Structure formats: C-alpha cells, structure tokens
Structure 1
Amino acid sequence: MKPYPKYFDKIRVRADPQAEAKAQAPVCQWDGCHEPGTHRAPVGRLKEGEYFRFCFDHVREYNKGFNYFSGLADSDIARFQKEALTGHRPTWTIGTNSGARSSPDFAQQRSGRAGYYNRVRDPFNIFGDQRTAPRERKAKPLEAKALETLGLTTKATGADVKARYKELVKRHHPDANGGDRGSEDRLRDVLQAYRVLKRAGLG
C-alpha cells in the first residue's frame, strides 16, 4: 500500500482569503509604510465616498485622531446634528398654511358630519336636505342606448322607465298595428332596451 494514495492528490485546500486580499491590496498610504493597505479610512468632511488605504496598525492610529467636524464652529456642529434628525431634509412648522385651514371648504372636510355625508351614498334620500345635491347618474353605453331607444334621459327613474315601456308596448304591439313589420321591429327594440335597463336596476 502506498503511503499517499491517489485520492489524496484530489483533495484541494482552500486558499486563505486574507492572504489573497493582502496580495491584491495597494500599498499602505502612511508615510514610510510598505505593508499592504487592506483597510479603508474616510478622507474627511465634504469628501464622502473617498478613502485612504492603510494597513491594520495605521488605520487604527488614523481612526484615533479622526474628527469629521474638525475646523467647524460649535454652532455649525449643532446645526448639523439637528438636521441629521430629519435626514437633512427640509421641515415646516405645524400651521404655516393657515389660509387653507380657515377656508370654508377645509372646515367642511374636517367636520365629522360633512365628511360622513361626502363619503356615504344615499340612494333612498335618508339624510334629506342635509346632503349636497345628488350627483347625476352616469349611464353605461348600453344603458344610455337603451334609454335613448325608450326616449328617456339619464335622469329617468325606475318608475319612468316602467311607464314608458308599457306605453310603447301598447303602441307598437302587432295587434294594435295590424301586423305592421316596422312596428314589430320597433317593439323588439323596446323589449331589448327594457331588458337591459331592468338588469341595471331601472325597471
């Protein structure tokens, strides 16, 4: 038996990542140092995103003496710290837009009752005159065509539709017109229109 069988030749040892990083790192930027610069250190204020490259010992020494606010007055430092609370974004004090708050529209929107009436539909007029004027119902294309066939507008109620339907059926029924084909076609259109409006809740 061989002391080193063939299987040992296939075993790979992972390279040390720190050794690879040292080999690829630039030279330390500390004066007189020739070690690999494996650690980054910030350059300073107004140069964000720029870094020095130092070896481990020199980056520790640099960080001990690093001061982001060096050269700034105490008032500037205090202002920077205050702005940092909001991420250096502008802020406004509450109530600066007082003109909008005093307008009647704003008051209407803020009051509980007005807000409730604006949000809730009232098809049966339960709230009476307290609500604003009801919005005109917007008919879908098929419903608008059906209303037009019956000779009605979008303001027509269910009772109006039913009354108009009965009137047109009596007028265009074949028995009342002696079997006139034109009247028969018109009756078919009226029946179809009424079916559409009934499905929409207007019949």
Structure 2
Amino acid sequence: MSKFKINIVKNSLSWESKRSVYICDHFDCKEIGRFRAPKSRIKINEYFMFCLKHVKEYNKSWDFYKGLNVDQIELSMRKDTVWDRPSWPLNGNPNSIVDQIKDFLNNDYSLFEKDKDLQGFLKNKLIDEKLTKEENNSINILQLTLPISIDEIKKKYKKLVKIFHPDVNDNNKEAEKKFKEISEAYKILLKKFLNKSK
C-alpha cells in the first residue's frame, strides 16, 4: 500500500490576519511605527503610528483639554464621573420632601375647592391633625394655611389687629365685629396649639 501525502492548506483566521507594517508618522523618521497615539481629542479613535522615540515625545506634549476654557474642562470632568451618561438628582432630601408636602397641603386647587370646611378637613387629615369645625373657622378667619405654628398664629394676629382695631377705624362697627372675630379665633387656636405642644 502506498502512502499518500495530503497537503492541508491552513488559511489564516480573521484575527490572525497579517499586520501591516507602518512607517513612523513623524517627518524625517524611517523607523517602523509600532505605537498608536490619538490624533486629537475629537478624533480619539483615529491614530498616528510612531516609533518608540517619537511616541514618547508625542505623549509628553499631548493635552486632551487643549483649546477648552475652564468651564468646558469642568463640565467634561463632571461628565466623566458618571461615564458621560445623563443623570438626575436623587429624590430623598428630607427638606425638599417636607417642602413638597407643604406645597401639596397648601394647594388651593384641590378636589374639594367648593367646600372649604371639607378642604380644611382633608389638609388636617393628611398632616394627622384633628381640628374641629370651630378651629377650622378660626384658621380661615386668621387667613392661615396648614401646617401652622404658634409663631405664625401670633404674627398673623398682630398684623390683623393693627388693621381692624376700633381705635384705628374710628369706631367702625364692621371693623369692631371683625376685630372680635379675630380675637376669638386667636384664643381658640392658641389654646389648641399650646395644648398640643405640651
């Protein structure tokens, strides 16, 4: 029996393709360029091919931020901290949450806009208050919005008393009536909130 020699031709795989030989891109240099260096900040994926000597020179003179002002450099650095992806502020700051709740409670455009007593009841329910109808009326008379503090009650009372005091209004009967309502509302709310704070 005779032996047959089979010739197997080995084809190179795609990743084994022959490497091109580059000449150094530095002028007046004829050495082989084995080292890549980016052409510019904008063309970061395009490269010069340099020999070892010239790639060292190029790297020493390379400045990624060349041509940018301080604000642009800072913006670029901030983008790099989040991998140049869009980001949003995280919710959870306790102060902003309290502000959002206050805005919600003080919103005059609620579902119960027609019924002021029911609207006041809803606001109180949300902040875990139990106010009577009389206390709700007192809040409306003093033109306050929930949530309120003792200091806010006192400030509003002083402001309204200066406007409706009988001595200021030459004994006007309506101003006197309003002054009495304000004084009574102040007493009711002060009693409620002083008991609450104890």
Q: TM-score range by the shorter chain?
A: 0.3 to 0.5
Greater radius of gyration (CA): 1
